[in-house]
Amino acid sequence: MPLHRPTASLLLILLAALTPSSSADDIELSPRIASAKAKCDAAVTQAEETLSRVKLTAKTALFKELDAALKDALDGHHSEDANKITEVRARIAGEISDLTPDKLPPEVTAALPVKWNIRVSSKEGWQAVGRVRVDDKITFVSTGAWALSNIEPSTHTYDADGNRTMIRGASIYGGYDPKFKMGALIGRIVTPDGEEHRFLAGASGTVKAEGSGRLELRVNEADAQTFNNIGEITVAVTRQ
């Protein structure tokens, strides 16, 4: 079979395909080729939109199944299963958000991880972070250090884990909690009825919310002793 000489338009298209630094858009095409390219681009766009709709439908159905499975796990007190389902559910919620960021149903929005980045001052008492829900997993990653005195501060400087050898006092005294190291980053959840759940946030770690309410953080030191403190700790908080 005889070989046919390629047309000039075809050569231009091949050249555009083989040259990484250029594209068909960089070359002036004949009206016929330009029309064909426009139809091709439209078909690709339509196919991508169809694929996105199919993905959204499938992931939404999966999210509803995960919702039902999570309810069953919680009702059956299967905490390990519930934790695994919660992690997958949050990931699927994120993928749904990527597909339709402006049209999320409330249940998907609620499943998305919430992130806060705050600076906790060593000179203040309880400092607000945000609201959490019972059974939420709350992760803390802290950087920086603070000094619990402006007199020879280098000898009283600690990270968010606090003074690993010092625990003093026998009861909660004006902000200081003897269950945790002096100078540690501690947290609490205050429910609407005033119930309080305290925990160690520390340099890094994850806690499970024992109630729904207001999340707060502070240095573990008595309120009357924070006046001469120096510094702050930056905390990345994730709720899911």
Q: Would you say 109 and 96 are in contact if contact means Cβ atoms under 8 Å apart?
A: no
**Which of 55-69, 187-201, 204-218 has the lowest average pLDDT?**
55-69
- Cβ-based neighbour number of residue 153 at 10 Å: 16
Q: Where are the domains of the chain?
A: 26-111, 114-239
Top-confidence residue, 201 or 103: 201
CB of 239 within 8 A of CB of 140?
no
Measured CA to CA, the distance from residue 175 to residue 148 in angstroms comes to 14
The pTM (predicted TM-score) of the whole model is 0.58
Confidence (pLDDT) at 108:
74
Position with higher pLDDT, 52 vs 169: 52
Cβ atoms of 211 and 134 closer than 8 Å: yes
What tens digit of pLDDT does each residue of 76-135 get? 878 778 778 877 888 888 787 777 766 667 777 677 778 899 999 999 999 999 888 888
| pLDDT of amino acid 19 | 53
The pLDDT, as a whole number, for residue 233 is 95
In this predicted structure, the answer to whether residue 139 has a pLDDT above a threshold of 70 is yes
CATH architecture label of 114-239? Sandwich (2.60)
Among 6-10, 71-75, 190-194, whose mean pLDDT is lowest? Answer: 6-10
pLDDT reported for residue 170: 42
